[in-house]
Amino acid sequence: MTKMLDLSRLAGDEATTVLSGKDRGEQTRADFHIDALDKSPEHVVVQLPPNLDAITPSFVLGMFGQSVKTLGSVDAFFDKYNFDVEPYLFSQIRRGAEYSLVVGTPLPFQLQS
Amino acid sequence: MDLKILHGRVRRGWNKRGLKLGRSGIRALTDLEFQTLKASIKHDGSIASRRNARSIKRQLQLLRNERSERTIVVRRGYVYNHMMDTLYPNRGSDWTLSWLRNKKQVVKLSNFSFLDEPKQTLDSLVEIVKAECQCKHLYIDFDDEDCLDIAPYMLLGIMKQQMIPVVRGGHITDGIRSILQAVDLDKFINMRKASPSRENPIFPFKMRQRRPTGTSTADNRSEYVTSEERASTQLADTVNRWLGCLERPRMLTRNSRAHILTLIGEVLDNAKRHGDLKNHDGTWSIAGFMEVRARHDGTFAYACNLGIVNPGATIYESLQAAPEHIVGQLSQLTRFYEATSPQGSINEETLWTFSSLQDGVSRVPTSPSGAPGGFGMMSLIGAINALGRSSRSDEQPSLTIISGSSCVMVREPYRTPTTSRQGHRVLAFNAANRLDELPDPAYVFTMPHRLAGTCVSVRFFLDETELAEAAKRRNDQDA
């Protein structure tokens, strides 16, 4: 089974060519019930707004960061969520997904969180 | 504005402060504005007060009349301004009543750029603030032939909104004039001399300011485009329009456009989220310019310069609200650095600001929804590096972050982060790129003055070959 996740209305009636902001990503995650999608067995085809030129890593983290964690790996995330987008846009989404699994900080003197 | 006296002299015993407003200012008001101004003149019911109010209104009407030659004195007390009072903490105590001022001063601005001379530039801004609270007339000479960085002009533009009008003019070059127009400073400063027009005009990206902190009603809703997204798109469109207007039209590649959108999207999102610690609703201002620079070999360089000002919380103030384990790490790191560095060369604020660049260091390392954070700054640096891939040593991208008293200059040889085994991107500003070694004090240092909030200056050069190929592709498609 495949489900469609239509994000084309994210741009509203205005012409925007970028999706940015972690808070906006998190709000979008809540509005589109991505938590429930993560748990469902279906594959999801993600349709992004037309004319989109960029999607910032922060937006991807806010919207899909928890999904990558839930699914366990970046590959598992892309197995479930299918983005039919141009390669440069896909690489932006992939970068954001990869950051989702980076934990802690690179600072010396690590303390327990 | 508190109108108290309308004669070109000071009455003894008045405790309010005032300043002079020319009749042209009164005449420039619309009828509605003028009526509102008159209606704002109140009296306390006493005969003397009523008489004074009537007199003020009469004088105002006379000044609006074309035949009137008298001037008006508008009195306004010292008003605290976070930006100016942070730059010059003695502003309040040093304030001289405007009608008692006789001093005239000239401030010369040269190398006015956070990208090139951050200390000197901040000193110049402090000098202007100092003059604003003490001088009758201030002349600003813009000595730079070209604008090196728009961010300090933006700060000047933001400050002038609250400054009393003491600026009387100064020398200016044509290149700087375009910049002042872009940041809406041209009407504020009476320029008395212009140099011949530039061969390659500057193309400004006009200053845009987000609504004031904490006033959003529908931000981040999925069905609305945010101010940050709108500004990013407008900037990318402006760069493309500029490139299309050139004698040999050029165009951004999709990759370059994506990098510009990412760069602005990340930096404005940071300003919004971390400038307002309570509601994630901070304000920001952004402006920029683009110019073609002729090289000695006859070729051209396409320079872009952006300034982003966030007058809210500094990075250091924001990190104070980070979870305990982040604050603990930063505190331990500070103690370690302080034990190994020469005394006073770098303070805690600077160390925390520098640390905030590293992946995962954030006030909100994990949001309530579980999404990790702290990747925005490195994404910004990555986008700038990807945009400015010039092979010329004098056209490498550079970024300066000034936050509070800290200054971090991301440029050659410290502009390329490395990725750790755990996946963190690290930029330690030392030869080994190790965070357990001190950052180079020429690139990470503490300033003698404080800026309220954070200011980011960016300069990068677009690659000529890529631009030409993109334009050719578009022409082929159109054909």
Question: Would you state the pLDDT for residue B13?
Answer: 39
Q: How far is A2 from chain B (nearest CA, A)?
A: 23
Cα gap B350→B348, rounded to integer Å: 5
Q: Is 80 exceeded by the pLDDT of residue B78?
A: yes
Mean pLDDT of chain B: 83
Radius of gyration of chain B, Cα coordinates, nearest whole angstrom: 25
Q: Is 70 exceeded by the pLDDT of residue A66?
A: yes
Q: Which residues of A touch B224 (CB under 8 A)?
A: 12
- Closest Cα partner for A48 from B401, B47, B406, B222? B222
**Which residue in B262, B429, B436 has the most chain A C-beta atoms within 10 A of its own C-beta, making it the best mutation to test that interface?**
B262
Task: Taking residues B32-50, report their average pLDDT.
Answer: 86
Q: How far is B273 from chain A (nearest CA, A)?
A: 8
A113: nearest CB among B232, B323, B379: B323
Q: How far is A72 from chain B (nearest CA, A)?
A: 13
B435: nearest CB among A89, A99, A107: A107
Q: Which residues of B touch A74 (CB under 8 A)?
A: none
B329: nearest CB among A10, A61, A111: A111
Q: Which residues of A touch B225 (CB under 8 A)?
A: 11-12, 14, 16
Mean pLDDT of chain A: 89
Whether residues A105 and B266 touch (CB distance < 8 A) is answered with: no
Q: Does B258 touch chain A (CB under 8 A)?
A: yes
Beta-bridged to residue B140, according to DSSP, are: B107
Give the model's confidence band at B434: pLDDT under 50 very low, under 70 low, under 90 confident, else very high.
very high
Please give, one letter per residue, the 3-state secondary structure of B109-120: ECCCCCCCCHHH
Give the model's confidence band at B275: pLDDT under 50 very low, under 70 low, under 90 confident, else very high.
confident
Question: Would you state the pLDDT for residue B267?
Answer: 87
Structure tokens at B127: 């000098």
- Closest Cα partner for B205 from B155, B162, B240, B158? B240
Q: How far is B247 from chain A (nearest CA, A)?
A: 26
User: How far apart, in Å, are the Cα atoms of A26 and each of B220, B302, B362, B405?
Assistant: 9, 37, 17, 33
Q: Which residues of A touch B325 (CB under 8 A)?
A: 111-113
8 Å CB contact between B240 and B251: yes
Nearest CA in chain A to B235: A17
Among B61-75, B343-357, B398-412, which is the least confidently predicted range?
B61-75
Return the percentage of chain B with pLDDT > 70, whole number.
84
Cα gap B471→B10, rounded to integer Å: 65
Q: Does B255 touch chain A (CB under 8 A)?
A: yes
Residues 6 or more apart whose CB falls under 8 angstroms from that of B207 comprise B154, B157, B182, B183, B184, B285, B286, B287
Give the model's confidence band at A111: pLDDT under 50 very low, under 70 low, under 90 confident, else very high.
low
Burial of B32 (0-12, 13-18, 19+ CB in 10 A): exposed
A102: nearest CB among B220, B280, B360: B360
Q: Which residues of A touch B332 (CB under 8 A)?
A: 108-109, 111
Q: Is 70 exceeded by the pLDDT of residue B3?
A: no
Give the model's confidence band at B190: pLDDT under 50 very low, under 70 low, under 90 confident, else very high.
low
Question: Would you state the pLDDT for residue B478?
Answer: 63
Q: Does B230 touch chain A (CB under 8 A)?
A: yes
Q: Which residues of B touch A16 (CB under 8 A)?
A: 225, 229-230, 233
Q: Does B332 touch chain A (CB under 8 A)?
A: yes
Q: Does B371 touch chain A (CB under 8 A)?
A: yes
Q: Which residues of B touch A25 (CB under 8 A)?
A: 371
SS3 B443: coil
Structure tokens at B468: 């030409």
Question: Would you state the pLDDT for residue B381?
Answer: 92
Structure tokens at B408: 């971090």
Task: Taking residues B292-308, report their average pLDDT.
Answer: 86
Whether residues A53 and B236 touch (CB distance < 8 A) is answered with: yes
Question: Would you state the pLDDT for residue B8?
Answer: 41
Whether residues A98 and B233 touch (CB distance < 8 A) is answered with: no
Q: How far is B465 from chain A (nearest CA, A)?
A: 19
Question: Would you state the pLDDT for residue B476?
Answer: 74
A20: nearest CB among B236, B269, B332: B269
**Predicted ipTM of the assembly:** 0.90
Question: Would you state the pLDDT for residue B109?
Answer: 93
Nearest CA in chain A to B252: A53
**Which residue in B240, B330, B375, B387 has the most chain A C-beta atoms within 10 A of its own C-beta, making it the best mutation to test that interface?**
B375
pTM confidence score: 0.82
Cα gap B144→B147, rounded to integer Å: 7
The listed range with the strongest mean pLDDT (B166-170, B178-182, B472-476) is B166-170
Exposure b/e, A44-63, CB count within 10 A at least 16 = b: bebebbeebbbbbbbbbbbb
B356-395 pLDDT, tens digit per residue, is 999 999 998 888 777 888 998 999 899 888 888 777 888 8
Question: Would you state the pLDDT for residue B17?
Answer: 41
